[in-house]
Structure 1
């Protein structure tokens, strides 16, 4: 249908402000930068353990709480760090799959906040486990938490909580429900953790998934945890691009009518491209479920006109 085709185009690869493309790009670029530094160490015939000690370990969460308190920035940096290229590629593929679906059902402004919430929640829970559980305390100095997996699991659980029957690969018997893909991801994820003999991953990933569930639960109750973070990102962006500061005011002026003594809104049979674009922008920012009945009807009529 017209509304679906146009909406897919608006969140597709290359769209300005696409949170999913931005997040994938940041993770990939950071990996390439630090892999280049690792390569410099290797070419210089230096001990590669020096790279871990002097650079990499300063950006991942240590199991030792005292050491972690001297490196508080690791709560934000660890989610972008990867040492294994195959692990990084696998994470990006899963991020693309679940992130695209999550944007499709909730809009374009919740993905990055959820990824950060899930990762930070996993990091905090990981630290508490290795400093409060007696059997794990002796292992604390030797373990670290690194990678985007916990944040991706938060996105996967959130997307599945929002739309468990969302269909992928529709050419296969009408499509595969999203919940099946999520179960498959969990099996693969925890199997890899077991193969690597990395107990920290279990605690971190479970915590990330729980944060994803809480995010959707609170959103359904009217508490959108992404608002303050998005407002901060907007403020930060406006500092470096003053022209954007007038966007919200302009959009508000365009979307709300300002009439005196006349009917505030009058339905007309012709649907303008501007009105359709405004509705599609709203889908992009908030998700399809936030449309009013009138806006849904406009998209339906536009699709019918296109088919004619």
Structure 2
């Protein structure tokens, strides 16, 4: 297997290739704009909004009827990227940015897409199974459909809270706000939103499935079992099929190359720490999260942040 050479890119920027959260938001918003534009065309041509949902949305959203799902199994995934209501899109993207950024900082960018897809997939399975298993729901919404990234976001929220419940943001506000409080707020808002809709109970089942999937995924990752490793390797191969071999290096040689570069070029120091060493540690955080750092690397970061 090959790996791309590292590039020093600014962290959490719109153009950063390793900011998977930003890329997910861009994909969701792009699909949203396309669907909204298509809906406008349907209305302008007097075809009608019901026909739009029949022609387009029915092929993207999760159907509650298992027989329809068997005909369109891809909806288990496409529904996670399908938004057409403005308010739903806005709120989901805000929460995706929020919890996705937390998880990416804590566990690394390679966990984002696997958790998003796995959590959303299990959440959608819970939605269909729940409607069939609960007679009241099956009677009320036998032909219901649902879409959106909510189960994936819930998976990220649950997973990030499991491995770092005391992770704090806005440290200047009385020491910061713990992650578990933000998660409780999100869960409360989600429950409050679902109560007002007929599809609400099924929506809650979808969120429960996403939360359980996120907890299980990150619990296994914490134990050292990365369920997304094979998926990440496959994704890398598929997205770099046509990448020139001359611009790739063997990952086993990466450490040697970095060490050799240090021998031939003097380090530029940042305080008490060489800049190259600091960049390597920051790259490690971006890939595998803060928990992957050794005690020596944590001490190095503390020295780098010192103003002495």
Residues 65 and 53 (structure 1 numbering): CA distance in 2 closer, same or farther, change over 3 Å?
same
Match of 2:211 among 209, 212, 216: 209
Partner residue of 2:84?
A: 83
| Alpha-carbon distance, 1:10 to partner | 1.7
Partner SS for 2:84:
coil
| Alpha-carbon distance, 1:253 to partner | 3.2
5+ residue gaps, structure 1:
1-6, 258-268
Partner residue of 1:234?
A: 236
The TM-score with structure 2 as length reference comes to: 0.87
The TM-score with structure 1 as length reference comes to: 0.87
- Greater mean deviation of Cα atoms: 59-68 or 275-284: 275-284
CA distance in 1, matches of 2:106, 2:18: 17
Paired residues, what number?
290
Partner residue of 2:123?
A: 122
| Alpha-carbon distance, 1:141 to partner | 3.5
The yes-or-no answer on 1:131 pairing with 2:132 is yes
| Alpha-carbon distance, 1:192 to partner | 0.9
- Greater mean deviation of Cα atoms: 294-303 or 211-220: 294-303
Residues 8 and 248 (structure 1 numbering): CA distance in 2 closer, same or farther, change over 3 Å?
closer
| Alpha-carbon distance, 1:173 to partner | 1.5
CA distance in 1, matches of 2:241, 2:87: 37
* Cα contact 2:31–2:81 (8 A) shared by 1: yes
Residues 83 and 296 (structure 1 numbering): CA distance in 2 closer, same or farther, change over 3 Å?
same
5+ residue gaps, structure 2:
1-7, 261-270
CA distance in 1, matches of 2:146, 2:248: 38
The yes-or-no answer on 1:225 pairing with 2:227 is yes
Match of 2:249 among 227, 238, 246: 246
CA distance in 2, matches of 1:225, 1:141: 34
| Mapping of residues 245-284 of structure 1, within 5 Å | 245-246=248-249, 248-254=251-257, 271-284=273-286
* Cα contact 1:164–1:178 (8 A) shared by 2: yes
Dislocated runs of 4+, deviation >6 Å? none
| Alpha-carbon distance, 1:255 to partner | 5.3
| Alpha-carbon distance, 1:194 to partner | 1.2
CA distance in 1, matches of 2:101, 2:298: 22
* Cα contact 2:117–2:152 (8 A) shared by 1: yes
Partner SS for 1:90:
helix
Partner residue of 2:104?
A: 103
